Amino acid sequence: MSIKNFLIGSPIETIKEKHERLSKTMGLAVFSSDPLSSVAYGTEEILFALVVGGAAFLNYLLPIAVVIVILVAIVATSYYQTIHAYSSGGGAYIVAKDNLGDYPGLVAGAALLIDYVLTVTVSVSAGIAAITSAFPGVRGHTVSLCLSAILFITMINLRGVRESGKVFSFPVYLFIGSLLFLIGASLMKSFSIPHLPYKELESATSSIFPVFIILKAFASGCATLTGIEAVSNGVRAFKAPEAKNAGTTLIWMAVILGILTIGIAYFANYYSILPNADETVLSQLARMIFSKGVIYYTIQFATALILILAANTSYADFPRLSSIMANDRYLPRQLSNRGDKLVFSNGILILGFLSALLLVLFRGDTHSLIPLYAVGVFTAFTLSQAGMVRHWMKDKGKGWLKSAFINGIGAVVTGVVLVIIAVEKFSHGAWMVLIAIPVLVLLTRKVHQHYLSVAGQLSLEGVEAEKEYSHHSVIIPVSGLQKAVLNAIKYGKALSDDVAAVYVSLDPEETKKVQAKWKDYGMGIPLVIMHSPYRSIVEPLMDYIDGIRERYEDGVITVILPEFVPQKWWHHLLHNQTALFLKGVILFKKGVVSTSVPLHLKG
């Protein structure tokens, strides 16, 4: 407990939960770090897709960025309505489930859960890429740096919502300020430097398919929209009035995201910056404007920080969404439990583990992970907006027609983008996400069916008065005779008059010694000797238990396990854990109960 308190702090009382909620400024840092951070690699991904078509295609960068910003405005407006209609949070999962049915809800939930894991992996790998761009000497330690970053973010989030907000506020606002300063400085420098056209490049793709190149670039750039839904999922994390504060935060986020996206794309095009595997586009632009000085390294530091900490958006939403789905009995119930710091600790730990696993598998390569990105979130976008259209049509409150029209536009636009992304990125890895979503939906249905089955079998409805057990047999497995066994015998005699000790004989000489001692210390209960020619302890004991079950079919058997408990944890490693194994076996035997009688040792 002392180690735990050192790492995550002292527990917080449930009554103080409201005091742990976020203000708008802190909420912007927690929930917008993911979409804002995508500015650092969104332009780069568009350029990587366009460069294969030659210099002429690179001029499509700015128009594509403008379309993406328009899409940001449409999606943000739609989610603003969702926040006020569903102020309890839950976002796409709740909206789709309530209005379109269980399966669409589960698809939206599964898509978001997968996308949150990918958000962590992409953000962290992109953040480490910013560091290796500035310091190429550490490029060989990319995976180790990524795993260290995930461990740090996981630990901070386990410390609580407010604490994570305090830690992550500075990097977010430093990044926003740094990029606004970079855009302003780029504008000032443009007055003295004319527009530099891209030099002619060798085209790697036939000009017969220009539309495919543009669509692929657009699909790659749509990673900018990931995380916009985060605020709608975490409405309950804000201070009262929750919906108003969440809605305001969403508007701030969309405006800042639009300004930064257009600014970086415009000046990357103005100064003819090309994508480079060894240096990010943002790094090249900052180096061109400021050279490699204090300001350049500040921008790189701020970019690396927000990219790594952008994963915090997922850490804020993945546990909340999984807890909502767990309460609906679609995920394991452990995910709905709050930890000592009033956060969903199990969800945080699972997210950290899955993200670390993906980073190891993909070696921390951002460009390998990007194709997996955005499919899930646009699936959720589309289902959420379609669900909201159905909501307004059912509700028909004041201004419902206008609201339905806005969400309808959002559903159509995000649906079209989803198809474009799925087609363009399919062969580059998106197929994995398209398979993973239905697999996760199937698993959630299996979990739900299990919980419904358990609830049905545990229900008292229609249950008649139960008969009492006709007989109680007590069995004490022993490996010899010592103080722990004597304690178990005393306990057994207090439970029933039918008590027997069972000794599995592996060595005839040792068996004789046990029998001799038993006459003096056995307290008058019989010692049953079971021979085991194949040196198995469990099978002869289970045979004896089965024999008692057949003799007393309406009775119950208690198996008392004598155990001694060493004082130090490492002492356990020096002893057989036979009792623990027996408990596991007995657990699956109907009509048989196991109980331990511990003897605590000193030193």
Q: Are 270 and 198 in contact (CB under 8 A)?
A: no
Sign of CA dihedral 390, 392, 396, 399: negative
Instruction: Spell out the residues 6+ positions from residue 100 whose beta carbon is closer than 8 angstroms to its own.
Output: 383, 386, 387, 390
pLDDT at site 577: 77
Q: Does this chain's domain 2-451 share its CATH topology with 472-600?
A: no
pLDDT at site 208: 46
- Tokens linked to 87: 């102020």
The burial of 503, by beta-carbon neighbours within 10 Å (0-12 exposed, 13-18 middle, 19 or more buried), is given as: buried
Determine the Cα–Cα distance for residues 583 and 581; give it in Å rounded to an integer.
Answer: 5
Region 386-395: mean pLDDT is: 88
- Provide the 3-class DSSP secondary structure of residue 364: coil
CATH topology of domain 2-451: Amino acid/polyamine transporter I (1.20.1740)
Angle between helix axes 61-85 and 400-425 (nearest 10 degrees) is 130
Determine the Cα–Cα distance for residues 26 and 46; give it in Å rounded to an integer.
Answer: 31
Region 161-187: mean pLDDT is: 83
Q: Are strands 527-531 and 556-565 parallel, antiparallel or unpaired?
A: unpaired
pLDDT at site 55: 72
Q: Which of the four pLDDT bands, split at 50, 70 and 90, describes residue 403?
A: confident
pLDDT at site 249: 92
DSSP secondary structure code for residue 234 in this structure: T
Determine the Cα–Cα distance for residues 600 and 603; give it in Å rounded to an integer.
Answer: 10
Determine the Cα–Cα distance for residues 78 and 410; give it in Å rounded to an integer.
Answer: 6
DSSP secondary structure code for residue 507 in this structure: -
In percent, how much of the chain has pLDDT > 90?
26
- Provide the 3-class DSSP secondary structure of residue 521: helix
Q: Which of 44-58, 182-196, 539-553 has the highest mean pLDDT?
A: 539-553
Region 256-279: mean pLDDT is: 87
Q: Furthest-apart CA pair in the chain: how many Å?
A: 105
Q: Are 480 and 521 in contact (CB under 8 A)?
A: no
Determine the Cα–Cα distance for residues 202 and 207; give it in Å rounded to an integer.
Answer: 12
Q: Which of the four pLDDT bands, split at 50, 70 and 90, describes residue 92?
A: confident
Sign of CA dihedral 201, 203, 208, 211: negative
Average pLDDT, the chain: 83
Question: 565 or 561: whose pLDDT is higher?
Answer: 561
pLDDT at site 2: 59
pLDDT at site 25: 85
Q: Which of the four pLDDT bands, split at 50, 70 and 90, describes residue 163?
A: low
Return contacts of 290-293, CB within 8 angstroms, 24+ apart: 290/182, 290/185
Tell me the helix, strand and coil percentages in the chain, rounded to 5: 70, 5, 20
Question: 21 or 589: whose pLDDT is higher?
Answer: 589
pLDDT at site 47: 87
Determine the Cα–Cα distance for residues 316 and 172; give it in Å rounded to an integer.
Answer: 15
Region 319-331: mean pLDDT is: 90
Region 389-394: mean pLDDT is: 88
Q: What is the pLDDT of residues 195-222, one digit of tens each?
A: 767 665 555 454 446 777 888 788 778 8
In percent, how much of the chain has pLDDT > 70?
90
Q: Which of the four pLDDT bands, split at 50, 70 and 90, describes residue 474?
A: very high
- Geometric angle at alpha carbon 514, from 508 and 515, rounded to 5°: 90
pLDDT at site 418: 86
Question: Does residue 130 carry a pLDDT above 80?
Answer: no
Region 132-159: mean pLDDT is: 82
Q: Which of 162, 161, 126, 163 is nearest to 142 (CA)?
A: 126
Q: Are 225 and 374 in contact (CB under 8 A)?
A: yes
Which CATH homologous superfamily contains domain 472-600?
Answer: HUPs (3.40.50.620)
Question: 430 or 101: whose pLDDT is higher?
Answer: 101
Question: Does residue 340 carry a pLDDT above 70?
Answer: no
Determine the Cα–Cα distance for residues 334 and 338; give it in Å rounded to an integer.
Answer: 9
Question: 363 or 552: whose pLDDT is higher?
Answer: 552
Question: Does residue 1 carry a pLDDT above 50?
Answer: yes
User: In angstroms, what CA-CA distances link 568 with 122, 249, 483?
Assistant: 43, 51, 19
Q: Which of 120-134, 182-196, 206-220 has the highest mean pLDDT?
A: 182-196
Q: Are 29 and 172 in contact (CB under 8 A)?
A: yes
* Helical H segments across 271-362, by residue range: 281-290, 294-309, 311-327, 345-361
pLDDT at site 366: 66
- Tokens linked to 28: 């912007």
- Over the Cα atoms of the chain, what is R_g? 31
pLDDT at site 201: 55
Every domain of the chain and the residues it spans? 2-451, 472-600
Region 532-551: mean pLDDT is: 88
User: In angstroms, what CA-CA distances link 100 with 84, 97, 233, 385, 388?
Assistant: 19, 6, 18, 11, 9
Q: Which of 78-82, 242-246, 413-417, 444-448 has the highest mean pLDDT?
A: 444-448
